[in-house]
Amino acid sequence: MAIDISSYDPRNLHLPDGEILSSGHLACPGCGAALGMRLALKALGPNTMVVIPACCWAVINGPYPFEALSVPVLQVAFETAAISASGIRAALDTQGKKDINVVAWAGDGGTFDIGFQALSGTVERNDDIIYICYDNEAYMNTGIQRSSATPYGAWTTTTPVETPKAEPKKNMVEIMVEHRIPYTATASIAFPEDFVRKVEKAKEIRGAKFIHLWISCPAGHKSEERSSVKIARLAVETGVFPLYEVEYGTRYTINHEPAFTDVSAYLELQGRFRHLKDEHIETIRRNIRWEWERLRAKEEMGRKLSLPPDVVRAAVGDGETTAG
Amino acid sequence: MRMVVKGNGAVAHAVRLSRAQVVSAYPITPQTSIIEELATMVARGELDARFIKVESEHSALAGCIGAASAGARTFTATSAQGLALMHELIHWAAGARLPIVLANVNRAMAPGWSIWTDQNDSLSQRDTGWMQIYCQSSQEVVDSVIQAFRVSEKVLLPTMVVLDAFFLSHTYEDAEIPEQAVVDSFLPALDLPHKMDLEHPAALGNLVFPDRYMEFRRKMDLAHDLALDVWDEVGREWGQLTGRPYGVVEEYRLDGAELVLVTAATAASTARPVVDRLRDAGVPVGLVRLRVFRPFPAAVLRSLLGGRRKVLVLDRNCSFGHHGVFHQEVKSALYELPHAEQPRVCGVIAGLGGRDITPDDLGEMLTGVWEGRIQDPVTWWDVLPARDPATAALAMG
Amino acid sequence: MVELNPKFLEDIPLTSYSDNPITAIKTGTWKYVQPLYEDRLPACSHLCPAGNDISKAMDLIARGDVAAAARLWRAGNPLASTLGRVCPHPCESECNRGQFGGAIAIHMMERFLGDRSLDESFLPEKAKPTGKSVAVVGAGPAGISAAYSLALAGHEVEVFDDKPEPGGYLRTGIPDYRLPKEILDRELDLVKSLGVRFTCATQVGADITLDDLRERFDAVIVAVGFHRSRPLAVPGEDHPDVLRGVTLLERILAGERPELPSPLAVVGGGNTAIDVARSLLRLGVEPIVVYRRSRLEMPAIPAEVEEADKEGIPFHFLTAPKQVVVEGGRVTALECLKMRLGEPDESGRRRPLPVEGSEFRLPVAGVVTAIGESADLGLLPEAARDGWRVAADERFATPVDGVFAAGDAVSGEGTVTAAVGAGRRAAAVVDRRLSGRELPAAAPSLQRLWRRQIEAGHPVYVDQLNPAYFTQVPRPQLRELDAEVRSSSFDEVVQGFTDEEAVQEARRCLVCGTCNECCNCLFFCPDVAIHKRNGAAGFDIDTEHCKGCGICVEECPRSALTLVEVES
């Protein structure tokens, strides 16, 4: 029978083999951060060093004397993920080891708030690191306090239901875009191939790369553990969290056209939004439309603009390269 | 090679000669010329290093921690507000057992906003596990920075090399800048045992439960004990290499001294001629200059000060609520002497915020103590006296 | 590597240098529920009256292993090629792929598998001979199926039928353009290859009695089906040009091409009526179908009705016959009454009620009745009869000891597929009886007779699938003979799948309820606790580390995983 058996592939996801994350780590059941790290490491491979500031992953990684990753990990002070990575990169450069991935893996607190300054410094210098912010939208490690990544309307322990978060989520991606770094992108654990592709792409670029990864947190979002991927998918499909990439602060590419499922489908799966009234949800809908209008306008505009002239961050002076 | 250098320039040369691999630093007066000279050296290829021009001092030390963890020899420099901003990471660097060398130009803490010298900034860091070494001359700065890399990399603790603002940092003196080959023979390449290594992946800096934390801290303390001997050995070895030996303290005219001035940094330089003058006048005065402050050379001080009649400790700092730091530490070291050998110890606080400590001041302090006019445990020098010293309200306005 | 519980400072590093794998921490102790791979019954198999393991077969074909799929199918079903032509495929009506582009053409796939396996090599191994024997009365689909299962179980089987050739309704009631008789014969050959003997032209109840059979055999299964037509009960019915549909079909299938008047009214809404109408067309007669309810209530297979539409056959719905009008010795019209639909009757369909004064005449030259059949139960004692049905309980057992019954004669269900399923289940009960065990409380469900374990309690419907992983892929067009070409011959109308078409269609199957190693579970596990088995199908769950979060269960596209409580 002339049947092509080789073309049979039941897999929905095609991801790199090999695991760098071990079982036994201390993440909560259903933790999006653990899944995110697993996927990121698949893309990064064993030639990687990871910096983890204070955040959930600092605990997930296990207490002394255990380690959860089979690559070197440096756990650092809360504010310092980006600069610690820059330091490692500088050291490896002096040792002539130019092909090791140096990755900062930080939560939203350590990126949007306390780590903001160091991050801005590192990317302004275009230090050759990959910075991945895994965003569960609050200070989850310390017990669910609000951060500037917490979305409008969300309950946290410091924005209780009487006064839920009134400010919109800070747009860290656009802030990174305005630093004109070679590569900025958003990603979601529900779109693993897209995330892996973006990390693999970042690996190949010299200079500062920033990836904003949306992750679920059953404990902090008050959602079911089993729904972590589903909720992450809805974040994208409702338009709450767009998937896009920006090169050199100019070229925008929207990677996924959402179905624009009504946002209530996303909100109702999370207890942190349970108190919202119709008018708040309507505000959220308007905000989604507004953000998408801007995003599409930027994509449109980006097509017409040329890339920055110093797009290849060439050596300045006597051969000083990045981190120097 | 003999050169005329200011203290900051001496730091830069020493860092160059020590072949630092990563410099991660942020400017602050009066440290700036250290990093400017280093930046120029790097740009000209005289120093093969990566210079991370960070956006704050907190990041400066964080950058060093990252780089040192990956096995590089690292250096930074700062002062006062910058050092205070780094404080969280000062603890971190020591706990992580990283041999980072930091040059701190002693500068007064704000407010009042001051760029001039006093020692509160560095002494505020005394509990963190860093070694601290106080220099009095450009020569000593050159020599001590190089020694600091050596000692740090041996005991695996970071070292703060301290210079007075302006009096040392910006005062030009002549100094012998050693040859590269000499330094190379003295300072081998760094091989950090716990560095990040793809061949031996491990996590550093993770959670430590109560059952283990104290052991790590005990090891730090043991390293300090060891370090006193190492500073000594290294100081002697350096002496053999260059003709300039160093000890953990410097003794001056202690033979037969019944009154000893104990102090650190440039005030000690100023004191030497005063000691000579008083000796000529028949006052049996001597000087002990504190050089290595952490680890604290308690035993050495006991051996040098035990049995003397009086000791005057001059602090260019104040630990509010308990007066001068050197004073407290010297006294507590001397307490272990048998009662009969304990000298009478007085403290003077002077020179805060860069106020000059003149030879006359020193003369008055010493004679005042010798002749019993200065009796109080602590005297604030040259400060308008309180009308009613017992009134605490003066603290408030 | 550091001592985990050192006693001495020397055994501790300078700083918290951690290189012990965290797998030492058994996070599996955290869970109170854990995932379990459990094959579940898909909607299609749930509805399949013959109990075919559809999703598994589709998965095998998708992988290219048509032979394994065919063997799987034939393990319980001797009439795959037949059913693949005549089954009304209720499976397709619930096929979950229907929401994602169109139901799998399961009917065509069954036919494909059947046609590719008309060979003994695809049959399962027979069990060792038991020394027991069973008589089956009726060589229709129920009887053939029962005989097949019993022969595979190692029993001696002899099938009796009053017709000259075996097949029952398959031979006498289904036209060639739906079921070529060569196909039926080849499938019967397969059954015979297992040692089953067919004794035809022998009527039990006349040529031989039931008691004779009970003496000669260890058990008897009565599967005589429905072969008698019900009368119209209107005046003029006794005219020679008022024909019985079932009988007419028998004649046509026997090869006759009778001369018939035209047009002919065909009264009825079931498969027989449609088969009659379409057969008449091929004989050059103009059929007019008259049915007392509306199109929606027609019991005929909708696809067959559609074919009739395509062939241009007219339908009069909500029309019931009142009288056959005979003038000058000939049938000139069928007087009809318009009907309207009232409350549902005992069949659950809305009862047709006459519209007063709505009589009208349909000019026709004759009438064919096809309003239902009944069983010929002469062979059974009164005790074993229940009106026009055989009295049999949930174990297919009649009150007469050792006598069982299955198929239309018991249920009146009217499809070949249900008969095949009934035959198989009855055979399972008889097999149990013959092995000396007690009869069960009820006959096992068909899924219990499968080779693989399946959780049959909660079939997988589309709400239990994860739609994120399925895209719309349209159902392929089936190739058929042109409407003009086909209505002039009895050649098969619908053309079967080629190998490539079958594989492609099988790959559209969502494989509901059965793991097909899509690996979603493996990739989405935050704890890396799901591992592909080495050299075997499926996955192992590392229960020492699985925290029971259930993401794997949620992200399984096809509901092949479930969460169960951890035993404490």
Read out DSSP for A209-245?
Answer: EEEEEE---HHHHT--GGGHHHHHHHHHHTTSS--EE
- The residue of chain A nearest to residue B88, with distances taken between CA atoms, is A77
A230:C555 CB<8 A: yes
Whole-number Cα distances in Å, C107 to B130, B396, C354, C461? 81, 96, 38, 19
Q: Are residues C211 and C240 in the same domain?
A: no
The DSSP result for C171-208, as a single string, is: HHTS-TTTS-HHHHHHHHHHHHHTT-EEE-S--BTTTB
Spatial separation of the C-alpha atoms in residues A54 and A60, rounded to whole Å: 11
Spatial separation of the C-alpha atoms in residues C18 and C298, rounded to whole Å: 75
Beta bridge pairs of residue A133? A106, A212
Residues in chain C within 8 Å Cβ distance of A227? 554
Q: Are residues C317 and C267 in the same domain?
A: yes
- Cα–Cα nearest to A281, from A129, A152, A131: A152
pLDDT in tens, B308-323: 999 999 999 999 999 8
From the list A59, A68, A94, the residue facing B50 with the nearest CB is A94
Asked whether residue A313 carries a pLDDT value surpassing 50, the answer given is no
Q: What does the pLDDT read at residue C256?
A: 85
B22:A118 CB<8 A: no
The DSSP result for C417-476, as a single string, is: HHHHHHHHHHHHHHHHHHTTPPPPSSPPPGGGGSSS--EEEEEE-GGGS-GGG----PPP
Q: How many CB pairs under 8 A join A and C?
A: 146
| C-beta of residue B260 within 8 angstroms of C-beta of residue B304 | yes
Spatial separation of the C-alpha atoms in residues C186 and C81, rounded to whole Å: 9
- Arithmetic mean of pLDDT over chain C: 91
Instruction: Report the greatest alpha carbon distance in chain C.
Output: 123
- Cα–Cα nearest to B6, from B25, B27, B30, B28: B30
The Cβ of residue C500 has, within 10 Å, a number of other Cβ atoms equal to 12
For chain B positions 204-223, those within 8 Å of chain C (CB to CB) are 204-206, 208, 212, 215-216, 218-219, 222
Which amino acid makes up residue C143? Answer: G
Whether chain A has a CB inside 8 Å of the CB on C520: the answer is yes
**Which of C371, C388, C414 is the last residue before a domain boundary?**
C371
Q: Which residues of B58-82 are buried (b: 16+ CB within 10 A; e: fewer)?
A: bbbbbbbbbbbbbbbbbbbbbbbbb
Q: What does the pLDDT read at residue C253?
A: 84
pLDDT in tens, A160-179: 999 999 999 999 999 999 99
Instruction: Kindly list the domain boundaries of chain A, sorted by start residue.
Output: 32-304
End-to-end CA distance of chain C: 35
From the list C17, C62, C549, the residue facing A29 with the nearest CB is C549
DSSP assignment, residue C135?
Answer: E
From the list B22, B53, B197, the residue facing A87 with the nearest CB is B22
HSE on the CB side for C96, CA within 13 Å? 27
Question: What is residue B9's three-state secondary structure?
Answer: helix
From the list C18, C22, C503, the residue facing A24 with the nearest CB is C22
Whether chain C has a CB inside 8 Å of the CB on A17: the answer is no
B64:A87 CB<8 A: yes
Q: How far is B215 from chain A (nearest CA, A)?
A: 13
Query: Strand (E) positions, C445-560?
Result: 455-460, 530-532, 539-541
- Cα–Cα nearest to B274, from B156, B140, B370: B370
Residues in chain B within 8 Å Cβ distance of C17? 194, 202-204
A34:C526 CB<8 A: yes
Report residues of chain C scoring pLDDT below 70.
1-4, 227-231, 346-347, 374-375, 483-484, 488-490
A226:C550 CB<8 A: yes
Whole-number Cα distances in Å, A135 to A107, A209, B204, B268, C300? 6, 16, 23, 55, 59
Question: What is residue A145's three-state secondary structure?
Answer: strand
Q: Would C527 be classed as within a structural domain?
A: no
Tokens (6 digits) for A2? 């002339």
Whole-number Cα distances in Å, A217 to A53, A185, B299, C269, C529? 18, 21, 56, 59, 19
Q: How far is A153 from chain C (nearest CA, A)?
A: 27
From the list B22, B92, B206, the residue facing A64 with the nearest CB is B206
Contact partners for chain A, using 3 or more CB pairs closer than 8 A, are B, C
Strands A183-188 and A209-214: what pairing?
parallel
Q: Are residues C321 and C419 in the same domain?
A: no
- Residue keyed to tokens 């003038």: C327
Backbone angles phi, psi at A49, to 5 degrees: -125, 140
User: Rounded to the nearest 10 degrees, what angle do helices A116-124 and B57-69 cross at?
Assistant: 70
What's the domain range around C357?
A: 234-371
Q: Would C359 be classed as within a structural domain?
A: yes
C20:A66 CB<8 A: yes
Question: What is residue C322's three-state secondary structure?
Answer: strand
Q: What kind and span of H or E run contains A102?
A: strand A101-107
Residues in chain A within 8 Å Cβ distance of C500? 2-3
Q: Would C495 be classed as within a structural domain?
A: no
Q: Are residues C361 and C420 in the same domain?
A: no
Whether chain C has a CB inside 8 Å of the CB on A258: the answer is no
| C-beta of residue C148 within 8 angstroms of C-beta of residue C142 | no
Q: Which residues of C328-359 are buried (b: 16+ CB within 10 A; e: fewer)?
A: eeebebbbbbbbebeeeeeeebbebeeeeeee
Residue A46 preceded by cis peptide, ω within 30: no
Asked whether residue B70 carries a pLDDT value surpassing 60, the answer given is yes
Tokens (6 digits) for C449? 């007779």
Q: Are residues C255 and C193 in the same domain?
A: no
Q: Are residues C242 and C367 in the same domain?
A: yes
Spatial separation of the C-alpha atoms in residues A57 and A50, rounded to whole Å: 11
Whole-number Cα distances in Å, B245 to A300, B157, B236? 71, 22, 5
From the list A63, A83, A93, the residue facing B207 with the nearest CB is A63
A70:B201 CB<8 A: yes
Q: Would C558 be classed as within a structural domain?
A: no
Asked whether residue B217 carries a pLDDT value surpassing 50, the answer given is yes
DSSP assignment, residue A272?
Answer: G
- Cα–Cα nearest to C253, from C370, C165, C175: C175
Indicate the number of domains in chain C. Answer: 2
Q: Would C131 be classed as within a structural domain?
A: yes
From the list B204, B218, B222, the residue facing C15 with the nearest CB is B204
Q: What does the pLDDT read at residue B388?
A: 64
Q: What does the pLDDT read at residue C234?
A: 83
pLDDT in tens, A191-218: 999 999 999 999 999 999 999 999 999 9
- The residue of chain C nearest to residue B98, with distances taken between CA atoms, is C15
Q: Are residues C366 and C379 in the same domain?
A: no
- The residue of chain A nearest to residue B207, with distances taken between CA atoms, is A63
Tokens (6 digits) for A304? 């017409």
The Cβ of residue B380 has, within 10 Å, a number of other Cβ atoms equal to 17
From the list C9, C17, C19, the residue facing B215 with the nearest CB is C9
Confidence grade of residue A41 (pLDDT, cut at 50, 70, 90): very high
Q: How far does CA B266 lie from the centroid of its chain?
A: 12
B22:A77 CB<8 A: no
Asked whether residue A321 carries a pLDDT value surpassing 50, the answer given is no
- Which of 2.40.30.40, 3.40.50.800, 3.40.50.970, 2.60.40.2380 would CATH assign to domain B2-242? 3.40.50.970
Q: Are residues C306 and C387 in the same domain?
A: no
Whether chain C has a CB inside 8 Å of the CB on B393: the answer is no
Confidence grade of residue A319 (pLDDT, cut at 50, 70, 90): very low
Beta bridge pairs of residue A92? none
C15:B97 CB<8 A: yes
For chain C positions 16-55, those within 8 Å of chain B (CB to CB) are 16-19
Residues in chain B within 8 Å Cβ distance of C14? 97, 156, 193-194, 216, 219
CATH number for the domain formed by residue range(s) A32-304: 3.40.50.970
pLDDT in tens, C231-256: 677 888 888 889 988 888 888 888 88
Domain B251-396 has CATH 3.90.1140.10: no
Q: Which residues of B103-118 are buried (b: 16+ CB within 10 A; e: fewer)?
A: bbbbbbbeeeebbbbb
Q: Are residues C256 and C310 in the same domain?
A: yes
**Which of C314, C337, C371 is the last residue before a domain boundary?**
C371
Q: Would C547 be classed as within a structural domain?
A: no
Q: Are residues C216 and C243 in the same domain?
A: no
| C-beta of residue A181 within 8 angstroms of C-beta of residue A122 | no
Q: How far is A11 from chain B (nearest CA, A)?
A: 32
Q: How far is A324 from chain B (nearest CA, A)?
A: 5
C22:A68 CB<8 A: yes
- Cα–Cα nearest to B286, from B272, B306, B299: B272
Q: Would C431 be classed as within a structural domain?
A: yes
Tokens (6 digits) for A6? 């080789």
Q: What does the pLDDT read at residue C368?
A: 93
Confidence grade of residue A324 (pLDDT, cut at 50, 70, 90): very low
- CATH for C363: 3.50.50.60
A30:C516 CB<8 A: no
- Residue keyed to tokens 């209720």: C90
Q: How many CB pairs under 8 A join A and B?
A: 173
| Percentage, residues of chain A above pLDDT 70 | 94
Q: Are residues C319 and C435 in the same domain?
A: no
Q: Above 0.90 for ipTM, yes or no?
A: yes
Q: Would C66 be classed as within a structural domain?
A: no
Residues of chain B with CATH 3.40.50.920: 251-396
Kindly state the average pLDDT of the residues A129-153. Answer: 96
Mutate to test the interface with B, among A64, A69, A71, A93 (most CBs of B within 10 A): A64
Whether chain B has a CB inside 8 Å of the CB on C14: the answer is yes
Spatial separation of the C-alpha atoms in residues C226 and A250, rounded to whole Å: 78
Spatial separation of the C-alpha atoms in residues C325 and C442, rounded to whole Å: 51
pLDDT in tens, B304-357: 999 999 999 999 999 999 989 999 999 999 999 999 999 999 999 999 999 999
For chain A positions 191-250, those within 8 Å of chain C (CB to CB) are 192, 218, 224-230, 233
- The residue of chain C nearest to residue B193, with distances taken between CA atoms, is C14
HSE on the CB side for A303, CA within 13 Å? 7
Kindly state the average pLDDT of the residues A126-151. Answer: 96
Q: What kind and span of H or E run contains C310?
A: helix C302-310
The pTM of this model reads 0.88
Contacts of B338 (CB under 8 A, 6+ apart): none
- Arithmetic mean of pLDDT over chain A: 93
Asked whether residue A104 carries a pLDDT value surpassing 70, the answer given is yes
Q: What does the pLDDT read at residue A318?
A: 27
**Which of C343, C371, C399 is the last residue before a domain boundary?**
C371
Residues in chain C within 8 Å Cβ distance of B217? none
